């Protein structure tokens, strides 16, 4: 005799429906993208001007090399050892025979997969990798650089995330940045401001000669084209803005005082 409980019949029917769906190409869960990672790096003002490279140590989840992200060990297909490939287990109680779905294989009749021994079924493993970070000339404080494909690996074989690096640029004692322009204060003597002069200053990319016209006032600015910061977006390079700061001479002796009095009378 054979009897089937309603619950056992529903389980067998459910597994049958699942098998039919897989056979006809039912969609499996889509592989999702891995998580992005975030880092920070500190630069000097000169490094942000010229651009530089940094070696970045990234600790990330990478796809398991043993199971290639599947999370299960590679094994030859075979029948389930508990139900002998039937997908159901029969239990005899007196003259009654009961059939229930096999708990070991979930009713599939196939040998159940085993977790990958390398990643314990997670599908990924943690690795430390050194990444060369290329920072372009002109990069500013607070800007972010993206390193594609160096984030965590995606689950179920999904694409990896990215690494985003936030740049912090230290202040410079002489130069001040406004956009892509650089501002610099240059001390000018009274005689240079009155008579005019040529002053050589040390720029970040070499010496710069600045012409001080006669009659220059303190705070007057002179713009030197394309001697500022480079544009990271492909635009024109910024300018160097020089501000003349009038410096009064130190009066140390009577002759200096007499010359100043004479200059005042003139």
Contact yes or no for 227/240 (Cβ under 8 A) = yes
Q: What is the pLDDT of residues 68-82, one digit of tens each?
A: 777 778 777 778 877
To the nearest whole percent, how much of the chain has pLDDT over 70?
88
Alpha-carbon span 105 to 19, nearest angstrom: 13
Amino acid 30: pLDDT: 61
Q: What is the pLDDT of residues 82-129, one digit of tens each?
A: 787 777 877 777 778 777 888 778 777 777 778 888 888 788 889 999
Within a 10 A sphere around the Cβ of 116, how many other Cβ atoms? 21
Q: Confidence class of residue 174 from pLDDT cuts 50, 70 and 90?
A: very high
Beta-bridge partner residues of 147: 163
Strands (E), 80-233: 88-93, 96-101, 124-135, 144-147, 163-169, 176-178, 181-189, 197-203, 206-212, 221-224
Query: How far is C-alpha 226 from the chain's CA centre?
Result: 30
Amino acid 256: pLDDT: 83
Contact yes or no for 74/67 (Cβ under 8 A) = yes
């Amino acid at each position: 005799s054979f009897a089937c409980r309603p619950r056992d019949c529903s389980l067998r029917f459910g597994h049958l429906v699942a098998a039919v769906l897989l056979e006809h190409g039912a969609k499996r869960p889509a592989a999702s993208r891995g998580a992005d990672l975030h880092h920070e790096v500190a630069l000097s003002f000169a490094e942000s001007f010229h651009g530089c490279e940094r070696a970045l140590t990234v600790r990330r989840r990478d796809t398991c090399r043993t199971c290639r992200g599947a999370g299960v060990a590679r094994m030859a297909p075979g029948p389930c050892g508990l139900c002998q490939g039937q997908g159901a287990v029969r239990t005899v109680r007196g003259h009654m025979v009961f059939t229930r779905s096999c708990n070991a294989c979930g009713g599939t009749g196939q040998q159940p997969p085993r977790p990958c021994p390398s990643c314990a079924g997670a599908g990924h493993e943690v690795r430390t990798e050194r990444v060369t970070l290329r920072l372009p000339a002109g990069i500013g404080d607070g800007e972010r650089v993206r390193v594609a494909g160096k984030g965590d690996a995606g689950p179920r074989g999904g694409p990896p995330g990215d690494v985003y690096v936030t740049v912090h640029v230290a202040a410079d004692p002489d130069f001040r940045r406004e956009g892509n322009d650089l501002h610099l204060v240059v001390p000018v003597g009274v005689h240079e401001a009155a008579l005019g002069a040529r002053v050589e200053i040390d720029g970040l990319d070499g010496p710069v000669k600045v012409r001080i016209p006669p009659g220059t006032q303190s705070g007057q600015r002179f713009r030197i084209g394309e001697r500022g910061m480079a544009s990271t977006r492909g635009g024109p390079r910024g300018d160097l803005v020089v501000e003349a700061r009038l410096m009064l001479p130190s009066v140390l002796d009577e002759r200096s005082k007499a010359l100043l009095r004479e200059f005042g009378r003139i």
